[in-house]
Structure 1
Amino acid sequence: MKKAGIIVGAFFVILIAAVSGFLLLNFNRSSQAVSDFSGEPLQITGNVEATETDVNVKIPGRVASINVEEGQEVTAGQTIAVMEAENIEAKSNQVKAVLDLAKVTYNRLSQLYNEGVLPQQKLDMARADLRQAQAGYDEVMSYINDSTVKAPVAGVITSKSVERGEMVSSGMPLVTITNMQDVWVNLKVRESAINQYRVGVKVPVQVIGVPHKIYNGEVTFIAAKPSYATERAIQEKGEKDMVAFQVKIKLDNSDNLLRPGMTAEVNLKP
């Protein structure tokens, strides 16, 4: 009987120890979860981005030639593509002839007017005809100039949407030019950590694709309002949304190692 009592007592001791350990473990987990949620994170992950410019065609028609390839570096003003403009070039000869005739007619009538043998009305009509001919010629020449598509900025061709012989509509992008020297890290920083950032402050940035280098980034932009909720509220518990703010950190890419889309880690001081 005494032996049975000892066994029962030992069982209760073990049970109490197990329950205590379980409660302590859950308490520690709960404390850690609260700390992770409300504390300020030491490391935030974002992505490298760069300024991109779409090069659009101004006139509809067929692509006569496309003069660049993806990955190619281009300079501002370099010819990207040429649109077919045979019909409009033929028309340019016609409107040029009309303009030349209008100029000759106006000059001749202007001389007669100065000699006093031509009424003002006739000269005004000749002047109107000249202006109309000039406007028609300028319109055709503008169309011809727009048939040659040039790069508005310098950079690298990162996207090519058309090939030679394809039909395109007005406003359609032909290529995308990325300025690899204008790069930054785009972060979504939750509100519990946003006050660690100030515009102009330098922060260390580690880019996963460039493991041997730590970039000295500069905060250039902090959004005035949040962009979205990073953690949604659980209504039953009365919790609130944890929102995030956009932060941009400028990086120096003079070594041309950074590429848009790369993963970056920003380390903050606690």
Structure 2
Amino acid sequence: MDVQASGNENQSTPEPAPAPGQENPPANPHAATRTPAIIVGVIAAIIIALSIYYLLRPEPLLVQGEVDATRLDIAARVDGRVKEIPVERGQNVTAGAVLVRIDNPETLAKQDQMRAAKAVADAQLANVLVGTRAETIAARKAEMERAEAAQVLAQKTFDRAKTLTEQGNAPQARLDQTTDALHEAERGLDQAKSAYEQAVNGYTKEERAIAKANVEKAEADIQSVKSVIDQLAVYAPIASQVYQRNVEPGEYVSPGVPLVTLIDLGDLWIHFDLREDLVKGLKVGDRFDVRIPALDDRHVTVEVKLIATKGEYASWRATRATGDFDLRTFSIRAYPVQPVPELRPGMSAYLDWRSRQ
């Protein structure tokens, strides 16, 4: 009985209260020391997992491309001095808009010369078609009549001289003189008759053909000069944008020298140069997204429409382990699936080639 009482007393004895300002001791000191160890272990496991992930994952292959567009180098077909350039760089122009005006005074003067030659040819043709004037015909007829009278007179003189010579009343020299005079009068009469007949009949068909040919030649010369003058104004072949002005007013230009460079914003594509080992599996019609930094990293979906070799080698990547062969470079042209009005030539485009695959 005494032992049980003493045990009850021990069990009911209260623990002394902590002094003021002191915290209660932890109920389980082992749990308090285990929590930091768990946190450290979790952090270490995360670090190890991330390290293994970054070490084992394939290294990204960042491919850079460039936006390009159809470019047109507009050149003049004639020489001269630049008179005016009515367009500015970056300006949108319509088809047929004047890009450059060239001044060439020598060509303009040649056109006036050809027009004068044409007027002369027209006058000659009109003269041929009208025929001989009536006054000319009358004059030729009068000359023929005088030749006939001279021939009659020469014939009578010859007859008298011949009679006198036969009778012995005139020397032989006199007969010879009258004979020569008769022959000369006959030749004069023949010439006068020919001239009169030519005046009456007018020009021959060959002369008319020559006159017409001269007119046609003059017209062709005018058209030739006019075609050169038309080239003094250079026009835009299609609706496009002025990319570059290669000359300024006052400069002398020669045929074939580019004056203005245009770009067709309706025909934009993204150009990539890839080694042939990267082209493996790529085919025309494939689509993938590219990132455009100039457009705030906008993603643009493009479609491959051209895969062509460039005919050169990428010396920075050689397959030395397989027999000293260099990998060729292929040109890839991918067009945006949807129009991107803000896209401009020269902008860069990026994509992770392996993640694309």
Provide the TM-score with structure 1 as the length reference: 0.75
User: What is the distance in 1 between the residues matched to 2:232 and 2:266?
Assistant: 29
Q: How does 1:2-41 map to 2 (within 5 A)?
A: none
Instruction: Kindly provide the CA deviation profile for residues 43-70 of structure 1, in whole angstroms up to 9, marking residues without a partner as x.
Output: 5221111111011011111111111111
AA aligned to 1:196 is: G
Aligned to 1:88: 107
RMSD: 3.1
Worse overlay, 243-252 or 101-110 = 101-110
Shift of 1:73: 1.0
How many residue pairs were aligned?
235
Task: Give the Cα–Cα distance (whole angstroms) in 2 for the partners of residues 100 and 252 of structure 1.
Answer: 62
Change (3 A) 1:253 1:63: farther
Question: What amino acid is aligned across from residue 78 of structure 2 in structure 1?
Answer: I
Q: Does 1:260 align with 2:335?
A: no
| Residue equivalent to 2:278 | 193
Following superposition, the deviation at residue 157 of structure 1 comes to 1.0
Tell me, in whole angstroms, the C-alpha distance in 2 between the residues paired with 1:58 and 1:127. Answer: 32
- Which residue identity is paired with 2:63? I
Are 2:136 and 1:51 equivalent residues in the alignment?
no
1:148 aligns with 2:233: yes
Pairing 1:63–2:82 present: yes
Give the C-alpha shift of residue 99 in structure 1: 1.9
Aligned counterpart in structure 2 of residue 249 of structure 1, from 321, 334, 340? 334
- 1:97 Cα deviation from its structure 2 partner: 2.9
Q: Distance in 1 between matches of 2:296 and 2:302?
A: 15
Equivalent residue of 1:71, what SS? coil
In structure 2, the residue matched to 1:206 is: 291
In structure 1, give the amino acid aligned to 2:263: T
- Deviating more after overlay: 141-150 vs 126-135: 126-135
Structure 2 residue 95 is matched with structure 1 residue 76: yes
Distance change >3 Å, CA 139–CA 253, structure 1 → 2: farther
Deviation at 1:134, TM superposition (A): 1.5
- Note the C-alpha offset of 1:266: 3.8
Deviates more, 1:243-252 or 1:232-241: 232-241
1:231-256: per-residue Cα shift (whole Å, max 9, x none)? 34375885532332111001267442
What is residue 176 of structure 1 aligned with on the other side?
261
Structure number with higher helix proportion: 2
**Structure 1 unaligned residues grouped into runs of 5+:** 1-28
Residue 95 of structure 1 and its aligned partner are, at CA, apart by 1.3
- Distance in structure 2 (CA, Å) of the matches to 1:131 and 1:206: 64
Look up the match of 1:164: 249
Secondary structure of 1:122's counterpart equals helix
For the residues of structure 1 that align with 2:78 and 2:212, how far apart are their CA atoms?
31
| C-alpha displacement of 1:145 | 0.5
Which of the pair is proportionally richer in strand? 1
Maintained 8 Å contact 2:313/2:326: no
Change (3 A) 1:71 1:242: same
The residue aligned with 2:15 is: none
Normalising by the residue count of structure 2, what TM-score does the alignment of the two structures yield?
0.58
Provide, for residues 157-209 of structure 1, a one-character-per-residue CA deviation record: whole Å limited to 9, x for no partner.
11111111111112111110011221111111222221332212222222121
Inter-partner Cα distance in structure 2 for 1:163 and 1:226: 37
Task: Name 1:221's counterpart in structure 2.
Answer: 306
User: What SS does structure 2 have at the residue aligned with 1:144?
Assistant: helix
Deviation at 1:81, TM superposition (A): 1.3
Alignment correspondent of 2:189: none
Equivalent residue letter for 1:258: L
Preserved CA contact (<8 Å) 1:55 1:175: yes
Runs of 4+ in structure 1 displaced over 3 angstroms? 103-112, 224-227, 230-240, 252-255, 266-269
Contact 1:231 1:243 in 2 (8 A): no
The separation in 2 between residues aligned to 1:164 and 1:262, in whole angstroms, is 31
Paired residues of 1:48 and 1:262 also in contact (CA < 8 A): yes
Question: Which residue of structure 2 aligns with residue 137 of structure 1?
Answer: 222
Whole-Å Cα distance in 1 between the matches of residues 321 and 267 of structure 2? 46
d(CA) in 1 for partners of 2:310, 2:107: 51
